[in-house]
Amino acid sequence: MRRIPVALWLAAPGLLLLLALMGGPVVLLVLESLKPFVPGSIRPGEGVTLGNYTELLAPAYLFYFQETFRFGIIVAGLSVLFGAPLAFAAVRSRSALLRKLLLALLVGLLVMSLIARLYAIEMAWGSLGPLAPLGALTGIAPRSPRYAEVQVAIGLLHFTMPVVALMLVGTFRALPPRLEEAAASLGARRSDVVVSVVLPLAAPGLVSAFLVALAMCISNFVVPLILGRGIVTLATSLMYTRFADIGNYPSGAAIGVVMLVLAFAVVYGLSALARRVLPGARL
Amino acid sequence: MTLEVQNLTRRFGRMLALDGASLDAGAGEVVALLGPSGCGKTTTLRIVAGFETADSGSVWLGGRDLSRLPPHGRDIGLVFQDYALFPHMTVADNIAYGLRRRGRDAAARAARVDAMLDLVRLSGLGARRPAQLSGGQQQRVAVARALAIEPQLLLLDEPLSNLDAKLRGALQAELRGILTRIGTTTLIVTHDQEEAMALADRIAIMSQGRVLQLGTAREVYERPACRFVAEFLGSALWLEGRVEPGGFVTARGTALACAPPSRIASRHGLLVRPEALRIGAAPEGWNALSAQVTGARYRGAVTLLDLLVDGAAPASIELERGTSPPPPGATLALAAAPADCILVPEDAGG
């Protein structure tokens, strides 16, 4: 009999935990999604069906997925756009006080309850809030129902940006400052240094931060619930309705599985794209 | 371009990194800033390059005050200790980086890059990435990149310290050749005295934020300005005592003949380089010293004999080939010519 390698024994507790705690529910979800739904009953019917998936191909459902990824990609992009300068300042600012304040702000946002932050956004950016004129710059009037989209985007941004910025703090810290000094000594201005040296070298970190933000957005439920005013409903809201309101477990499970597959496809596709666009970067 | 560094001071919190450091380099001259770690030489380099600001003092390059110029406006080529090559660019793009910032067109850039690659003998490697080069090659790319912009001043930060000993010797000669050919005023920061002597026309010895002496290798070695310089360079036998008419009397009362001191100072010591010491009775007119053997160290090419001279001063001298070292505790007679006994002030002058 072959002996089981020690490494496998050592990994066994972790693997079991991973399988039982993380993998198990997902497997059950997949199985559930293949069962027929019996209206009026929580217990699913007998047999195997793909009906829960085929019904999602209807335009009304496709819209949910499209909206979810539209919000996700826009917000992830914005959070990298706003988070990167913050992170860079938190790492490279000449003032030690500013560096500390920025880090404290980011960590503070991260530990503050999301619910509290969302109601704060509702108060500040809502149609009657003092920041509503700023929100109107998006081209959507604060009084129009579509303004909920702006609020959901701000809410999601609040959720992702501290995480993105803190991830990028690590990215920028790993860049040797000597490279920036070398560029400066060769005649590059600060902005030129950032474009020609910092951003190309930070690209892998920027891509990962974007993907993490995207994952956080498309799986978020509470932001559209609180700020969406029933106008913005994303795939998560749909899933919740299926499970909790209608009790249609198989359909909710199918939506969950589709989201999982779509998310994997998007993450994989975007990383492949980034690898092609940034051949020098190690992703 | 002449470089003049005047009275730099810089304080980091409680630590005084620079305490009135001054030095100068003539046009085309190579000056080495030599000192132990923490002496302020790197801070001086960073102030000249513009990455740090001095609390007081000034830096002049070719009659232009650099103090208020940002690093990118100084026209200074810098070679970092770890080379700091841009890893995402090819060797050629690294060398062309500064030329691009100066608005040179593609043809001029390509010609200059080729010329620089020729200069550092890396022709044909322009398409490689820095990671595909050896340490010595990376070092040469860093030199080529810094020189491509035809800087008014070249700064080298510990240029050879990241290379292994064998490669260092070869690159030292090559770097000296390049510096001679291009004739750019150069400031080298190093803690390695051999490197300083091999590369520089003049050496500035630094300690505790001040330049103690600036002179040719021969001057600083043979006529050190103070005890620190004497003991920092090479090995030294340092005898404490007092200056007397016609010579020097050690703390133990041994009278030694030597030339009068070249500088007035409150306290002098007597410096004898170990290579000037002979084992044996003193010939007519020579100074005689007695020494106790404390040990011997075999070093392959030479055997070093550790001595305690005149009862107090440690020194190591090289034994002649084939002689077996005397046992520890043995007493030896040493002789030194008066011309090799130099009075050196204990402290650097103000």
8 Å CB contact between B59 and B52:
no
Q: Parallel, antiparallel, or unpaired for β B247-250 and B15-25?
A: unpaired
Residue A282 has pLDDT above 50, yes or no: no
Q: Where are the beta strands (DSSP E) in chain A?
A: none
**Subunit contact A185:B72, Cβ cutoff 8 A:** yes
**Subunit contact A179:B84, Cβ cutoff 8 A:** yes
Fold annotation for A51-277: MetI-like fold (1.10.3720)
Residues in B touching A196 (Cβ below 8 Å): 97
Q: B69 touching A, CB under 8 A?
A: no
**Subunit contact B97:A196, Cβ cutoff 8 A:** yes
Across the A:B interface, residue pairs with CB atoms under 8 Å apart total 65
For the segment A28-84, what is each residue's pLDDT rounded down to a tens digit? 888 888 887 777 766 767 777 777 788 888 788 888 888 888 888 999 999 999 999
pLDDT for the residue A280: 52
Residue B248 has pLDDT above 60, yes or no: yes
Q: What CATH superfamily is the domain B235-345?
A: Nucleic acid-binding proteins (2.40.50.140)
Tokens of B264: 């007035």
Q: What is the CATH number of domain B3-222?
A: 3.40.50.300
Q: How many residues does chain B have?
A: 350
Tokens of B73: 């406006």
Best B97, B143, B147, B156 residue to mutate vs chain A (most A CBs within 10 Å): B97
Amino acid at site B328: P
Tokens of A212: 């993490």
Q: Quick check: ipTM above 0.90?
A: no
Q: Which of residues 139-198 of B touch A (CB under 8 A)?
A: 145-146, 149
What average pLDDT does the structure give for chain A? 84
Could you give the residue range(s) of every CATH 2.40.50.140 domain in chain B? Answer: 235-345
Q: B12 touching A, CB under 8 A?
A: no
Helix (H, G, I), strand (E, B) or coil at B160: coil
Which member of B70, B76, B84 has the closest CB to residue A176? B84
**Subunit contact A181:B49, Cβ cutoff 8 A:** yes
Sheet of B15-25, strand order:
B15-25, B3-12, B56-61, B64-65
Residue B350 has pLDDT above 70, yes or no: no
**Subunit contact A186:B101, Cβ cutoff 8 A:** yes
Residues in B touching A182 (Cβ below 8 Å): 78, 80, 84-86, 145
Instruction: Give percent above pLDDT 90 in chain A.
Output: 24
CA angle B46, B49, B50 (to 5 degrees): 85
Q: A175 touching B, CB under 8 A?
A: no
Mean pLDDT along residues B211-225 = 93
Tell me which of B114 and A119 has the higher pLDDT.
B114
Spatial separation of the C-alpha atoms in residues A65 and A255, rounded to whole Å: 9
Which member of B75, B88, B101 has the closest CB to residue A201? B88
pTM of the model: 0.81
Instruction: Give percent above pLDDT 90 in chain B.
Output: 67
Tokens of B122: 């890396």
Residues in B touching A185 (Cβ below 8 Å): 49-50, 71-72, 74, 76-78, 146
- The residues spanned by each domain of chain A are 51-277
Q: A95 touching B, CB under 8 A?
A: no
Could you give the residue range(s) of every CATH 3.40.50.300 domain in chain B? Answer: 3-222
8 Å CB contact between A274 and A283:
yes
